Structure 1
């Protein structure tokens, strides 16, 4: 992707709507991190066991693992703005409950975990939708910069929120800290009410929830570029999660700090992430995504190993700056690649799959490292996680990340099918034949392209795909694919990307028959009972 002179790392902020929503999100995340500091520190007072501390991290991440995919479906079929407002109201209610329970002295471990879990549900509902609106706010050429700015905004909040939360917690207590978080939701809701996106036209091919869920899962299963991103994300975050799951105990036990110092620790991570985000465009240009992700794994491993040695506080804070750099590099690279390998029609669902893997890795890793720390001890667990992550940073390069440079905008190049009469949308399954005549010497190259095209067919809605040859004439080949219904095939017409159409054009060059390859649409008949004598 080329960068024009008027673009750059901060170019999306020149888009007014993006800038307003970005600022509101930063303020909202400041409040969320203040809440997280209060919850993370309170659990060390409610229970000294590592498993209980790690359970808070898991309670926040597990709902995203469980509900992100249904949330992604809702992000693609509902009004995204109204949906976000409703989710913000839910999260505000969670903070209000935490504030009231803290003020009354009734907050215990069970209620803290339960409310953290409900807050995680809100995060699960919000995550795919918030990320899915980004392409509507900026030009495509600024998409990666916008994703990077979103990550930068999170880490600006990570640098300010924990420090502010630690001060509030140490000075006025948890109730005030939760109350400050509650106020930030009002700012986010106000920004969403101000935003007036262009109303979408009524879509006669709008998907119901069940069909949209199946189509989204089919696309995720067929998108090979997405598979590589998910694999690398799962491996990195499952092992890097040890740093986050055990950080409250590191602050309390190894560094002998209080709540305010714990907030400073998290603030150091956020500050490092800001620096990492600003340097990332130049680093990515020099090293590439794969090398940077390996460096991020090494940095994270080095920080965990150093913290295990109970260093002086100043040295620990310096190390946490590097942890922030590593975290922002991994988040931005994997998040931006996920955006670029997804077409817009399934963006919310695809991002939900990514968030499911990301948060599943965090939740599973947090619980696992907490359990290991129960038996092995805090120091031994940190050293084990560091050694494993350092080795994994090298091994994972066997599965290189995709370039993310395919044009996935709808091509709208398929002609309207010729019909003898009206076809009910629910009728199906539909079998589509594309008939080619290919010389024997061209078969290997032709079949290699067909295999690439098959991923697009399945990703755009086909439930099955194959290629056959005529037993009497092996040069006559038929590519076939199956759609669940006629309406789903019409949706496929609107989904097929420019990359897929370019692949089809290359296939057509091998066709030696008269005219273009013949396309047939075969509709399944109702079963006819056999004659009974």
Structure 2
């Protein structure tokens, strides 16, 4: 593991976001809401084992929960960037409450089936898909930049507090009162979340004639994700880790019932142990972050998760399985907070929801694909061998990807606002386009190679901020003249591009400008489609 420079103040500031009243209230509300969700999930996961003992059927529940996020997270991220996030979250909570009411009614009337469980779990996954990027995107609205990683860690801590409480409560309720009462507790939890969101008086966004529409915002988000190398690294690390680690989650109900001879209550205890382990991990994470960098933490998480799968494969006594799941909770917390914190740190606010949605798409796609894969493998070779194969794969992948360094996210992504307003002969309609921008540089022949390399780095910035095409050309008659060109969809999108350029981008541009040898700044011209 690589050790970064020590930063003693980091541990002291780990709980600083809780001093923010709005963050604290919403944080507590999410704990209540997630506790209800874990209560619901325990009931659904256990009920499906009553209806079918096939590993593929059990794994299908995990896939049904994760697949909607894989399919819908990016559109949800677009909505989180263009709609009022508070109102959007309230509507989502109402949808999730309605799904739990249906589960309650079906269980109370004895009409529950695998089809209904999978279908309503899928609908719950749709709600989670819509909610996840929005909930994560509001973090920078509630805390300052220096507290973002601490806020992300606290959100993960809150989820795992719920994981520690919810499964145990769900197991007890299911064992003593039945599924309908268990689902009823989940319905009640949504009332607390809705009340907290209603209490939060989020400042209304000012009217903006250049505000994005869904289709354009969707394309802009995909362009940013495609051009961001930092995000690519995070996505690769996340996808590989979660494909292998999903095995233990997909097969845990069957492990508890068949391999460990446990009841519904014991399954809840196992999930609660994961939550308790994650809470313990959250308490020591500040010290670990002071000692190890993100790559070291991910390697450690991979080793511990693989060890957990190997330990469970040998059907340990129930008390030992509980202790093993404590380790899984700590490792899972370390992986989630490391990857999520890195993603938050490399994203500017204007595209945060959409890009976090891409991250969630990869996360849930890996979980869904991995769940189905390991369910089928378990049917072929059995639970113990499946866990061993997944654990060995995770060890190999974790060691192999350790050299693919996770970005630190230390760039200043605040808008620089240093681009001057473009000169126009007359007002231009916002939706008119496409727009071609030409920038003329005069470059000393001796600097040609260095300039081309520098302007190539600039191309990624242009494409992240809105350009769908970019190029650099040189004058055949005068080798000192270079023309950088890029195209954007519309005039409004180009104005938004002006607003998106960050201070880190400005530094890259300044590096390119240092090669310009003209007495005047590079000439910038705007050409717009003649066809309206």
TM-score range, shorter chain: over 0.9
Counterpart selection for 1:205 from 207, 210, 229: 210
- How do 1:509-524 residues align onto structure 2 when only pairs under 5 Å count? 509-524=514-529
For the Cα contact (< 8 Å) 1:3–1:141, is it kept in 2? no
For the Cα contact (< 8 Å) 2:173–2:182, is it kept in 1? yes
CA shift, 1:442, in A, is 2.1
Alignment correspondent of 1:145: 150
Mapped partners of 1:343, 1:522: distance in 2: 28
Find runs of 4+ consecutive structure 1 residues off by over 3 angstroms.
1-7
Mapped partners of 1:309, 1:427: distance in 2: 65
Alignment correspondent of 1:283: 288
Alignment correspondent of 2:298: 293
Alignment correspondent of 2:405: 400
- How do 1:306-385 residues align onto structure 2 when only pairs under 5 Å count? 306-385=311-390
Mapped partners of 2:249, 2:468: distance in 1: 40
- How do 1:97-246 residues align onto structure 2 when only pairs under 5 Å count? 97-246=102-251
Counterpart selection for 1:428 from 433, 436, 440: 433
- How do 1:355-504 residues align onto structure 2 when only pairs under 5 Å count? 355-504=360-509
Where structure 1 has 5 or more consecutive residues not aligned to the other structure, the ranges are: 528-533
Alignment correspondent of 1:254: 259
For the Cα contact (< 8 Å) 1:37–1:165, is it kept in 2? yes
Q: Render the CA deviation track for 1:55-81: whole Å, top value 9, x for unaligned.
A: 000000000011111111110111110
Mapped partners of 2:337, 2:356: distance in 1: 13
Mapped partners of 1:462, 1:417: distance in 2: 16
- Length-normalised TM-score, structure 2: 0.97
Mapped partners of 1:207, 1:241: distance in 2: 36
For the Cα contact (< 8 Å) 1:147–1:336, is it kept in 2? yes
For the Cα contact (< 8 Å) 2:10–2:286, is it kept in 1? no
Mapped partners of 2:454, 2:269: distance in 1: 54
CA shift, 1:5, in A, is 8.7
Mapped partners of 1:325, 1:294: distance in 2: 13
Counterpart selection for 2:41 from 36, 47, 71: 36
Q: Render the CA deviation track for 1:372-425: whole Å, top value 9, x for unaligned.
A: 111111111111101111111101123221111111111111101111122222
CA shift, 1:342, in A, is 1.1
Look up the SS of the partner of 1:466 in the other structure.
strand
Alignment correspondent of 1:531: none
For the Cα contact (< 8 Å) 1:7–1:142, is it kept in 2? no
For the Cα contact (< 8 Å) 2:67–2:125, is it kept in 1? yes
CA shift, 1:3, in A, is 8.4
CA shift, 1:524, in A, is 2.6
CA shift, 1:285, in A, is 2.4
Mapped partners of 1:6, 1:391: distance in 2: 32
CA shift, 1:50, in A, is 0.2
Look up the SS of the partner of 1:333 in the other structure.
helix
Q: Render the CA deviation track for 1:32-67: whole Å, top value 9, x for unaligned.
A: 001111111111111000000000000000000111
The CA RMSD measured in Å over matched residues stands at 1.4
1:65 matched to 2:70? The reply is yes
CA shift, 1:230, in A, is 0.5
Q: Render the CA deviation track for 1:332-351: whole Å, top value 9, x for unaligned.
A: 01111111111111111111
Where structure 2 has 5 or more consecutive residues not aligned to the other structure, the ranges are: none
Q: Render the CA deviation track for 1:219-269: whole Å, top value 9, x for unaligned.
A: 111111101101111000011000100011111111111011110100111
Look up the SS of the partner of 1:435 in the other structure.
strand
In the alignment of these two chains, the number of paired residues is 527
For the Cα contact (< 8 Å) 1:158–1:269, is it kept in 2? yes
- Range moving further from structure 2, 182-191 or 406-415: 406-415
Alignment correspondent of 2:17: 12
CA shift, 1:4, in A, is 6.5
- Range moving further from structure 2, 136-145 or 445-454: 445-454
Alignment correspondent of 1:508: 513
